Amino acid sequence: MHTQRSTRRNRSRTSLVIAWTLAALSATAVSAGDQSSSRNCSAVTIRGNYGLQMQGTRPTPPPNSVIETVVGVVMRNYDGYGNFTQIDNIKGSVTGIAPDRPGAGTYEVYPDCTGATWFQPDPNNPGLVIKERLVILRNGAEIRGMAESPAPLMVTSVAKRINGN
């Protein structure tokens, strides 16, 4: 008799756990569905000024060509038409700081709120283009990014819209 009660209790607990799990999964699926159906990003979604913080590693220029840690802050303006300008302050653990460097590039935003940028960091080296992949969050209030190419560049970034633009 004692074993039958224990078995029934265990089955009840198991059923309850399964029911809660299914309810949680259903709620998550509905929530995810609502988000994906409401996504409709474009270049205009990220129009304005963003403060960006980046960190990672990169190779140093020849002749040394070692991998260094790099950090930086950037003020970037997206124009809403696929172009951006920026001022960056980048510091490498080997190369030191490069303050207040102006730069420019292009960008694309896709309807699923992902995107890409193309940036030429050195006007004297037109062959070097950094391609970055983006995820746009909270209707453009935040952008997460990672360097796709060149391959040795391992950098991630977080950009937040600056209020008032």
Average pLDDT value for residue range 105-129: 92
Average pLDDT value for residue range 106-121: 96
Strands 67-78 and 83-92: antiparallel
Coil, helix or strand at residue 159 = strand
What is the per-residue pLDDT for 124? Answer: 80
CATH code for the structural domain at 43-161? 2.40.128.120
Q: Which residue has the higher pLDDT, 114 or 39?
A: 114
Any idea which residue has 């653990």 for tokens?
93
The percentage of the chain sitting over the pLDDT mark of 90, rounded to a whole number, equals 66
The percentage of the chain sitting over the pLDDT mark of 70, rounded to a whole number, equals 76
* DSSP 8-state assignment for residue 65: -
What is the model's pTM? Answer: 0.75
* DSSP 8-state assignment for residue 162: P
| Interatomic CA distance for residues 50 and 138, integer angstroms | 14
Across the chain, mean pLDDT equals 84
The string of pLDDT tens digits covering residues 25-52 is 444 333 333 344 457 999 999 999 999 9
The dihedral region occupied by 116, where left means phi > 0, alpha psi between -120 and 50, and beta the remainder, is beta
* Domain spans, the chain: 1-38, 43-161
What is the per-residue pLDDT for 13? Answer: 52
Amino acid making up residue 130: I
The string of pLDDT tens digits covering residues 70-88 is 999 999 999 999 999 999 9
Average pLDDT value for residue range 99-123: 94
Please say if the pLDDT value at position 24 is more than 50.
no
Coil, helix or strand at residue 8 = helix
